[in-house]
Amino acid sequence: MIQEKKAFAPNQKVSPFIGLLLFLISIVLVVFTTPLGFIYGVFHNLFTKGFSGIGEFLLQIAISIDQLGNVVMQHLLNTLWIKKSGYKFGNRDETISSVIGKNKQLRTLTFFGKNMDRILEFIEANHSLNSIDYYVQPDK
């Protein structure tokens, strides 16, 4: 059976109560299930794929945390790291590094944004530019 892929809808109208309720439920779930899932995932990957499997698993987790940071810190990062005309942080499907890379190309990084890019460059050459995700659905 062929299923139609649903389009990304970032700006749905949600009541504050529903948003708060879902936020609280997600916090409870992450506190109680993450340690168990992490331990199981490490051993599962170790025994099925070896040490490289653990590396892949940890990279997936790092990318997910990065995407969370892009949403949670969007207002702060939009204020401190980019100029007003820059490509905005906040898309839940994009990493912070991807947004930095897009703003580097647009030349809209502020002093703080350029310094963060330099730190990323020290860790990995061209990290922010290589992290650009061209297939992210833009916010409306």
pLDDT at 2: 54
- How confident is the model over 39-58, as a mean pLDDT? 93
Q: In 3D, which of 92, 61, 122, 112 has the Cα closest to residue 100?
A: 112
Q: In 3D, which of 130, 72, 78, 73 has the Cα closest to residue 101?
A: 130
Q: In 3D, which of 63, 132, 66 has the Cα closest to residue 100?
A: 132
pLDDT at 67: 95
What is the widest separation between alpha-carbon atoms in the chain? Answer: 52
- At 91, the amino acid letter reads N
pLDDT at 1: 47
pLDDT tens string 79-133: 999 999 999 999 999 999 999 999 999 999 999 999 999 999 999 999 999 999 8
| Reported pTM | 0.78
Given a contact cutoff of 8 angstroms between Cβ atoms, the answer to whether 101 and 130 are in contact is yes
Given a contact cutoff of 8 angstroms between Cβ atoms, the answer to whether 95 and 135 are in contact is no
| Confidence band for 3, pLDDT divided at 50, 70 and 90 | low
Compare 135 and 15 and report the one with higher pLDDT: 15
- How confident is the model over 53-59, as a mean pLDDT? 92
